[in-house]
């Protein structure tokens, strides 16, 4: 039986980041289940994406080429010629304005950022708000909203790395993960989705329709696992009923602590990254968790969607509001 538990969340204006989430284990002991650097300077270096709001476009756009109605726009590239997470100066590297907010039994903070026309190459001035709220039932809600004065591409997410062991285990390999998806988008060597339709997960290392221990899947012989560095860095195509309300996307569990995390979202896709390239560098001046030290559960649209007419659209016309909601629900199992 899952029992809701109170949570305590901290945020930062740098990157509109989720910096800490403290929640109880099955015995009531609180611990932080978010990977965060001890020094704020690391947020501009080795840990720049940790907990941050990612934009203007989360994930990858191949060759940094954005096809628009007025021709191809060349975005600023920052990963092997591709544009990753909005470019080298994405939303994660910005100082957002912040104000407290309260709605009924929920309290939190609303962040705002104005991204000017041409920012990292993206057309139009984009005004974005990200609102974090928590309640007494152990629910953390993230609401995204944006408007732009020109047609642009928008895909926002949160890049928190979770480790439900709360410091008891260095890695997430003993976590169980379930994802509500029957298909995923395979990638090439640059982690750009391959041409063609999504592939069925059945019979592959990507079949998470039932809970699977991460240790059992991240180092399999699957070619897609190898391309991602020995783990997941892939997008799952979520089952959606067509309703606007957040629907269950994933469940992460750690049996040792009894902690359970449910992720619900309005988004069509879920990028899972298992910290394959973390090095565990012993240099105390560099923040680097051990390999597989955390798992990112990124609700979003699919990678490279602006260049793929067969994917759900990520275009935001002027005068039309962008909205997205993701909920992380914490509980313990007894």
In DSSP terms, 107 is beta-bridged to: 102, 134
- The answer to whether 298 is a known catalytic residue is yes
- DSSP one-letter code for 44: G
User: Is the per-residue pLDDT at 5 higher than 80?
Assistant: no
pLDDT at 168 (0 to 100) = 81
User: Is the per-residue pLDDT at 169 higher than 90?
Assistant: no
Dist CA 221 CA 241 (whole Å): 34
Q: How many domains does the chain divide into?
A: 1
Per-residue pLDDT of 9-42, as tens digits, reads: 999 999 999 999 999 999 999 999 999 998 888 8
Estimate to the nearest angstrom the gap between the alpha carbon of 122 and the chain centroid: 21
Dist CA 277 CA 229 (whole Å): 7
User: Is the per-residue pLDDT at 70 higher than 90?
Assistant: no
Q: Which two tokens stand for residue 113?
A: 């950022």
The boundaries of the domain holding residue 254 are 2-333
Buried b (16+ CB within 10 A) or exposed e, 216-232: ebbbeeeebbebbbbbb
Q: What is the mean pLDDT of residues 135-152?
A: 96
Which of 110, 139, 262, 298 is flagged as catalytic? 298
Per-residue pLDDT of 191-200, as tens digits, reads: 999 999 999 9
Q: Select from 53, 13, 50 the least CA-distant residue to 32.
A: 50
Exposed/middle/buried for 159, CB within 10 Å: 0-12, 13-18, 19+? Answer: buried
Kind of pairing, strands 53-54 and 60-61?
Answer: unpaired
pLDDT at 41 (0 to 100) = 84
Whether the Cβ atoms of residue 153 and residue 314 lie closer than 8 Å to each other: yes
Q: How many CB atoms lie within 10 A of CB 272?
A: 24
Q: What is the mean pLDDT of residues 276-304?
A: 89
Dist CA 61 CA 192 (whole Å): 8
pLDDT at 144 (0 to 100) = 98
pLDDT at 245 (0 to 100) = 94
pLDDT at 118 (0 to 100) = 97
pLDDT at 302 (0 to 100) = 98
What mean pLDDT is reported for the chain?
Answer: 95
Q: What angle do CA 185, 189, 190 make, to 5 degrees?
A: 85
Which of 19, 159, 175, 301 is flagged as catalytic? 159
Q: What are the phi and psi torsion angles at 67 (to 5°)?
A: -80, 120
- Residue carrying structure tokens 């759900």: 312
pLDDT at 4 (0 to 100) = 65
Per-residue pLDDT of 39-60, as tens digits, reads: 888 888 889 999 999 999 999 9
Q: Select from 14, 29, 42 the least CA-distant residue to 164.
A: 29
Q: Select from 302, 332, 290 the least CA-distant residue to 240.
A: 302
Per-residue pLDDT of 88-111, as tens digits, reads: 999 999 999 999 999 889 999 999
Q: What is the mean pLDDT of residues 234-239?
A: 98
Dist CA 147 CA 257 (whole Å): 42
Q: What is the mean pLDDT of residues 288-314?
A: 96
- The answer to whether 262 is a known catalytic residue is no
pLDDT at 2 (0 to 100) = 64
SS3 (DSSP) at 176: strand
User: Is the per-residue pLDDT at 128 higher than 70?
Assistant: yes
Question: What CA–CA distances, in Å, run from 84 to 37, 62, 155, 302?
Answer: 21, 9, 12, 13
Which of 190-194, 251-255, 282-286 has the least mean pLDDT?
282-286
The percent of residues above 90 in pLDDT, for the chain, comes to 87
User: Is the per-residue pLDDT at 235 higher than 90?
Assistant: yes
Dist CA 302 CA 183 (whole Å): 12
User: Is the per-residue pLDDT at 1 higher than 60?
Assistant: no
Please name the residues in contact with 104: beta carbons below 8 A apart, sequence gap of 6 or more.
none
| Residue with the larger pLDDT of the pair 109 and 284 | 109
Q: Residue 306 sits in a domain of what CATH number?
A: 2.70.98.10
Q: Which two tokens stand for residue 162?
A: 């979770």
Dist CA 34 CA 260 (whole Å): 14
pLDDT at 283 (0 to 100) = 72
């Amino acid at each position: 039986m899952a029992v809701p538990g109170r949570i305590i969340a901290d945020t930062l204006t740098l990157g509109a980041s989720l910096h800490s989430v403290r929640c109880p284990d099955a015995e009531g002991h609180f611990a932080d289940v978010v990977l965060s650097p001890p020094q704020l300077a690391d947020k501009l270096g080795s840990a720049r994406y940790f907990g941050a709001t990612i934009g203007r476009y989360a994930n990858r756009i191949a060759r940094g080429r954005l096809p628009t109605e007025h021709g191809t726009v060349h975005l600023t590239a920052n990963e092997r010629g591709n544009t990753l997470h909005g470019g080298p100066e994405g939303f994660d590297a910005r100082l957002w304005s912040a104000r407290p907010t309260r709605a009924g039994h929920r309290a939190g903070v609303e962040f705002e950022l104005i991204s000017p026309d041409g920012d990292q190459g993206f057309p139009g001035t984009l005004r974005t708000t990200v609102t974090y709220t928590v309640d007494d039932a152990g629910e953390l809600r993230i609401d995204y909203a944006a408007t732009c004065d020109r047609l642009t591409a928008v895909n926002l997410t949160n890049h928190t790395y979770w480790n439900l062991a709360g410091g008891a285990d260095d890695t997430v390999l003993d976590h169980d993960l379930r994802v509500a998806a029957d298909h995923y988008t395979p990638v090439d060597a640059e982690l750009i989705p391959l041409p063609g339709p999504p592939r069925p997960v059945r019979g592959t290392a990507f079949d998470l329709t039932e809970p699977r221990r991460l240790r059992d899947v991240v180092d399999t012989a699957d070619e897609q696992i190898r391309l991602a560095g020995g783990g997941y860095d892939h997008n799952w195509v979520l089952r959606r009923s067509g309703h606007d309300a957040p629907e269950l996307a994933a469940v992460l569990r750690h049996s040792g602590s009894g902690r359970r995390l449910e992720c619900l979202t309005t988004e069509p896709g879920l990028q899972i990254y298992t910290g394959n390239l973390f090095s565990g560098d012993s240099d105390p001046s560099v923040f680097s968790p051990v390999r597989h030290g955390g798992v990112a559960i990124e609700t979003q649209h699919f990678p490279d969607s602006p260049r793929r007419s067969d994917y759900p659209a990520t275009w935001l016309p002027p005068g039309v509001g962008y909205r997205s909601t993701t909920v992380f629900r914490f509980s313990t199992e007894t």
